[in-house]
Structures are given as structure tokens and as C-alpha cells.
Chains A and B, each alone.
Chain A
Amino acid sequence: MAEAALSRSSATELTADRKLPDQPWARSARVEALSRLDTLGLPHRRDEYWKFTRPDTLIQMPAPSAAVFHNDEKPLFDDMDRLRIVFVDGVFDENASDDLTLEGVKIERLATAQSDLHWAKDLYGKLEAAGQTPVPRTLAAFNTAYAEDGLLIHVTDKVSKPISLIYTHESDSSDAILHHCIKLDAGTELTVLENGPAAARFNKVMEVDIGDGAAFHHVRAQGRDHERRAVTHMFARLSAESVFKSFTMTVNGKLTRNECVIELTGDDATAHVAGVCVGDGDFHHDDTVFVTHDAVGCESRQVFKKVLRNGAVGVFQGKILVKNGAQKTDGYQISQSLLLDEDSQFLAKPELEIYADDVACSHGSTSGAIDEDALFYLRARGIPQNEATNLLTLAFLAEAVEEVQSDVLKEELTSRLDAWLARHRD
């Protein structure tokens, strides 16, 4: 089967001239991923799961170009004590990065990890493979097959400072693929930050395996470049009493599809996924979330807020699946969008599928304009219309930003959103 899969070009130009990276320990994972890709095919605009977002430009070769956007804004997280790891258009930049050494964690690069006994063998492509049912996510399988670099992070203790992945974009035509694996041993803690526009087109997978009682925090800012495209997948598996918290802020970008696939497999685990996006004009942002409760007493929250104007489009597809036996599940999902004009659009498909009888799940989805009464109230107190609109917009986003644990980060993210609002006045 391996050779058959390797010799076949899987129905698309995307894989046509690529070779599987030669790495013994990851070889079978790559070959299997390629076979999944062959069997399931790449996303198609007629696929139900791609009803609201056209995958064409995520697949076509070469990648559509994206101009590098320059502004004088200071990079996010700049003042934080963190371990910096820089990728320029998806290529590791050793000079710009810190040494990959940090107490409580072992960090290696996918490109250079060679041992056949590598721990990542049990993780690389595994959560991605599990995430292909019930709906295929084959751009992630493609990533597993061909990713040449990324980070393999093994957490063995509580790590004192965040690992900060910085994705710089310098080439208009870059087409980057990165695959990260993160394994947290029982009782450990890690925060991962990600920021930057990454590439003209970016395909990223992150697989996170969280041991008993461990905690993983993730804060990501996808931003800046107006023409960039990205498809990202986060696959997380949670063991007993573990915690997963992920927050994403997206500012600008022509097309972004962020999928988050979470499996709660140990009792009393907690998973929160939140996101805010602000889009203006030629902006399409898709959050697709799939949370599976497969253990007792777990809590999950999905909080997504979008601010859209000048024809921007927001998509939310979110599902909570509660398996038979996953009693005492507490599941919450809210997706809301604020449409600042009539040209913008929000498309939502919230779903609950429950096979246990003792659960509390709720979900809601709304889309609306600025509250005119609130706006008038603020203006009647002397706050100019623009400023009042921004105040109400930030207030709308606040419920999602509140999901970020750190006050410092919360403030920094809020000030970025504020700056974005100020830049986009008519």
C-alpha cells in the first residue's frame, strides 16, 4: 500500500511535484496520511463541510500571491518574557530564534528529529487521523504527509515562560507548511503563543496531547497582511482533569479557515476555545470547531465573536458531540457577529449531537448591527459616533477576549483590536 500511495499523485496539482520528506520515524505516518488524502480527496466546494467557504485557493498551485504589508506597529507579545522561535515564510530562522532550550520542556525541530525511537512517533499524524471522522479534514492529512518542519515539544514540567512562535512573512509567493506536535506529561503546564501573518499561504497543523491534570494554554494572533491565506488545524486530546484553553484573534487576511478538533477522553477535563476576528472588505474568516465529549464530567466552551464590515464574511461551524456515557457533560457554545453595515455577512451552523441523558448543553448564534439605543446614549453624553461605535464593538468582543487567562495578554489584544477599529474608519 505504501508504494502505491507514494507513486500516485492524488488527483491534484497540490501534491504533484512534492516528495515525502525522508525521515524514518515519521515515514509510516506520512504514508498513511497520503493514503487518507487519496481515499478521502481534497475539499471540494460542493462538500457539505465547505458549504460556506471555498477551498479552491487553499489548494490551487501555485499559491495565490500575497503582498507583504508593512506598518509600524510593534509586534505582539514583544515585551513579554518568552522563548522566541521564528519561522520566515515557514522556514526556521535560527539567527532570529532563541536557543531551543527551556527548563521543563524539550524542543526539537521536525526537520532534524531523526531517532527512530522518537516520542513523536506516537503523536505525529495520529490525532489528525482520528480527526478525519466523521468529517474529512484532508488539508490536514496533506500537511502530515508533506510538512518538512515544525516543532516537537515534549513538556515534562510546569514551564515558567511561554514558547512564542513568530511567523514572519517576507515573500509575496510563499506557500508554507508547518506541523507541530506537543505532548504534555501528566501534571505539566505550557503556554504557546503564535503570531504573525506567516506566508502568502499557510497550512499549519498543531497536534496537542494533554496528559492527566496537565494544562495547555494557547494564544494566537493571526494578522496584518490583507492578502494572506491560511488553513490551520488544531487537534487536541485531553486526559483526565486536564485543561485546554485556546484563543485566537484574527485581524485582516483574505481567507482564513481555522479548524479546531477537540476530544475529551478523560473525566473532568476542561476545554475552552475562543476567537475574535475583525474583518474589513475582502475578508473571509471561517471557524470550524468540533468538540467530542467521550468522558464523564467534562466542560467545554466555544465563544466566537466576529466584527464584519464592507462586505467581509464570517463563518462559524461548531459542533458539540456528546457520546453515549459522557454523563455530566457541561457544553456551551456561542457564536455572534456584529455587522457594521449591510454588505457584510455571517453564516453559522451550530450543532449539538447528544447521546447521553444527564448533560447540560446550550448553544446560541446571533448576528446583528450596533445597538442604536446604546449608540445614542453614548453620543448624548458627548462621545463622538466613531468612538462610541468602537466602544460598543470592543464591548461586543469582550466576552471572547475574557477567555484569555492573562490580564497582560488581554490588554495587549484589546489594544490591537482598538487600533484596528481606529484604522478602519470611513
Chain B
Amino acid sequence: MLSIKNLSVKLQEEDKQILKGVDLEVEAGKVHAIMGPNGSGKSTLSYVLSGKAGYEVTDGSATLEGVDLLGMEPEERAAAGLFLAFQYPVEIPGVGNMTFLRTAVNAQRKARGEEEMSAADFLKVIRAKAKDLKIDAEMLKRPVNMGFSGGEKKRNEILQMAMLEPKMCILDETDSGLDVDAMKLVAEGVNALRSEGRGFLVITHYQRLLDHIKPDVVHIMSDGRIVKTGGPELALEVEHNGYADILAEVA
């Protein structure tokens, strides 16, 4: 599904190499986790895949179902089925959450040549999905992420993911800033979306999210590279021994 080969990225403005040849293959129906110390390049990877400006790809490739992602505009990547749940969701004053989501859903449908969703259908669907995530009507009406608590912002990301039904979901530290209850809600939201045709890349610093979203494969990232790959037990190893041991072992 998502195929990343030798992806090498530097900052556009500075001579600083951040990703130094990332290789990663996420198959449809699978959940891959990326763990790694702060500053290892996890968010950068998610940004580069979704098309944020400011980075320069110096080598390598990234494709979604065989289609080159790196040559596309961010909105084209989204329409192609890529979704990023942001580590820091952006607040947008003046744009209603509901308007935003409906515009997004219909923009993607339009880009794919599908019929747009009617206002009534949209309302029905979003109400049901919002309820599962304990997002109330008032939150839907407010401007995007404005005045949302950390947990509410993360739940709102998952709501967007549920509405957009992407093929490939990247979650960047969706667990950070969440208490146990909120984390359970988020994990349930993610698990409800798990399906044959959908891939997940769950970026996290800690193991605890992976208790709720069980990964098939765990990667350790350090200094811009995937340095170790294993099964769920690798996450537990990090939990018990920290990153230092693993990094020392691969160094």
C-alpha cells in the first residue's frame, strides 16, 4: 500500500539532513508503528508524505498503491487516500468545523469524480460518528479546533479520519496529551476503521497507545533512519528498557 524507499530529506532553508534513507512498506490491512526518541524524524516523515512545504527530497521515493506521492499537491495526496492525523492540529478561527469537514469530504469526492454528499446525508453521518467519539454538536459548530482541549483536538482528528475514509492513515503522536479515557476513545475510533483495504502507520513515543491499537509491525526510528524492525514485542522492549539499549545494540 504505502511504499517508502531510501527516502532522504533535508530542510529547504538549511543544510540539515533529517531523513537519511528511510525504507518502509505498509501493507493493506496492517498496522505498522514507528517509535523513536524525540527529534528522530518521525513527524518530518509524516509531513513529507503529506506534502508540507519546507522540505527537500534529496533521494528516494514514496508511493501509495504504486502512485508517486512526492510529485503531488497535498490535496491530491489526500484525494488519493492519504490521511495524516496531526501531532499538533491547527486552530482555524472563523471556519466552522462542520463547514470545514463538509468542504473536505466533497472536495475529495469531486477530485475522484464521485458525487458530492448532500447536506442532509452529511449531517446524518457526521452526527453518528461524532457521537461515537463523544464529540458534541456544539464542538462541531465551533471554529476548527478553536478552544478545544488537547484531547478534543485529537478526537477531532479521528473524526476527520472517519469521515474521509482514507486508504492510508498516518497518526502522529495521537496519544500525546491524552488521558486514559480519551486514549481509549481514540483507539476505539481507530480500531473501528481497521479493515482489509486500509493501512495504518502509527507514530508514537510511548508504548501505551499500542496496548489499545495492536500493531502488526513495530519500527524503531533514530536519527532519520529505521534502525530496527520487529513484532509487537519490540514495543514492549522499548517500554521496559528504553531506547538507549536498542540504539546501543544497533550502533
Residues of chain A whose beta carbon lies under 8 Å from any beta carbon of chain B: 371-374, 376-385, 387-388, 391-392, 394-396, 398-399
Specify which of B91, B107, B143 is in contact with A383 (CB 8 Å cutoff).
B107
Contact A374 B104 (CB under 8 A): no
Residues of A with C-beta under 8 A to B86: 377, 380
Contact B53 A372 (CB under 8 A): yes
Contact A383 B75 (CB under 8 A): yes
Chain-A contact segment, one of B93-101, B207-215, B222-230:
B93-101
Residue B8 lies at the interface, judged by CB distance under 8 Å to chain A: no
Total contacting residues, chain B, CB less than 8 A? 32
Residue B174 lies at the interface, judged by CB distance under 8 Å to chain A: no
Known: A372-B53, A387-B107, A391-B103. A379 touches B92 (CB 8 A): no
Contact A392 B92 (CB under 8 A): yes
Known: A372-B53, A387-B103. A380 touches B74 (CB 8 A): yes
Specify which of A376, A379, A381, A398 is in contact with B94 (CB 8 Å cutoff).
A398
Residues of B with C-beta under 8 A to A398: 94
Residues of B with C-beta under 8 A to A399: 94
Residue B89 lies at the interface, judged by CB distance under 8 Å to chain A: yes
Residue B52 lies at the interface, judged by CB distance under 8 Å to chain A: yes
Contact B104 A381 (CB under 8 A): yes
CA distance A396 to B77 in the complex (A): 27
Known: A377-B86, A379-B75, A383-B103. A391 touches B50 (CB 8 A): no
CA distance A329 to B136 in the complex (A): 39
CA distance A76 to B77 in the complex (A): 39
Contact A382 B75 (CB under 8 A): yes
Residues of B with C-beta under 8 A to A373: 90
Residue B218 lies at the interface, judged by CB distance under 8 Å to chain A: no
Residues of A with C-beta under 8 A to B144: 377
The 8 A CB mask of B69-90 against A (1 = contact, 0 = none) is 0000111011100001010011
Specify which of B79, B92, B164 is in contact with A395 (CB 8 Å cutoff).
B92
Contact B108 A382 (CB under 8 A): yes
- Smallest CB-CB A-B distances: 7 pairs: A395-B94, A382-B78, A382-B108, A381-B104, A379-B74, A377-B90, A398-B94
Residue B51 lies at the interface, judged by CB distance under 8 Å to chain A: yes
Given A381-B108, A392-B95, 18 more contacts at CB 8 Å? Answer: A372-B53, A376-B74, A377-B89, A377-B90, A378-B92, A378-B104, A380-B77, A381-B78, A382-B75, A384-B73, A385-B73, A385-B75, A387-B103, A391-B99, A391-B100, A392-B92, A395-B93, A396-B94
CA distance A377 to B47 in the complex (A): 11
Residue B160 lies at the interface, judged by CB distance under 8 Å to chain A: yes
Can you report 28 A-B residue pairs in the complex whose CB atoms are below 8 A from each other? A372-B53, A374-B92, A376-B51, A376-B90, A377-B86, A378-B95, A379-B51, A379-B74, A380-B50, A380-B75, A380-B86, A381-B78, A381-B104, A381-B160, A381-B164, A382-B79, A382-B105, A382-B111, A383-B104, A384-B75, A384-B107, A384-B111, A385-B73, A387-B107, A388-B75, A392-B92, A392-B94, A395-B143
CA distance A381 to B89 in the complex (A): 12
**Shortest distance between the CB of A301 and any CB in chain B (Å):** 18
> Which A residue's beta carbon lies closest to that of B52?
A376
CA distance A398 to B89 in the complex (A): 22
Contact A379 B78 (CB under 8 A): yes
Residues of A with C-beta under 8 A to B84: 380
Specify which of A382, A384, A395 is in contact with B95 (CB 8 Å cutoff).
A395
Known: A380-B84, A382-B164, A383-B103. A394 touches B50 (CB 8 A): no
> Which A residue's beta carbon lies closest to that of B145?
A377
**Shortest distance between the CB of B151 and any CB in chain A (Å):** 19
Residues of B with C-beta under 8 A to A381: 78, 100-101, 104, 107-108, 160, 164
CA distance A384 to B111 in the complex (A): 9
Most chain-B Cβ atoms within 10 A of its Cβ — which of A385, A387, A388, A392? A388
Residues of A with C-beta under 8 A to B75: 379-380, 382-385, 388
**Shortest distance between the CB of A426 and any CB in chain B (Å):** 15
Residues of A with C-beta under 8 A to B99: 391
**Chain B stretch 96-123: residues in CB contact (< 8 A) with chain A:** 99-101, 103-105, 107-108, 111
**Shortest distance between the CB of B169 and any CB in chain A (Å):** 12
CA distance A373 to B87 in the complex (A): 13
Residues of B with C-beta under 8 A to A383: 75, 103-104, 107
> Which B residue's beta carbon lies closest to that of A383?
B107
Residues of A with C-beta under 8 A to B90: 373-374, 376-377
> Which A residue's beta carbon lies closest to that of B90?
A377
CA distance A387 to B107 in the complex (A): 9
Residues of A with C-beta under 8 A to B160: 381
CA distance A392 to B160 in the complex (A): 19
CA distance A395 to B90 in the complex (A): 15
Residues of B with C-beta under 8 A to A380: 50-52, 74-75, 77-78, 84, 86
Residues of A with C-beta under 8 A to B100: 378, 381, 391
Residues of B with C-beta under 8 A to A385: 73, 75
Most chain-A Cβ atoms within 10 A of its Cβ — which of B75, B77, B89? B75
**Shortest distance between the CB of A331 and any CB in chain B (Å):** 23
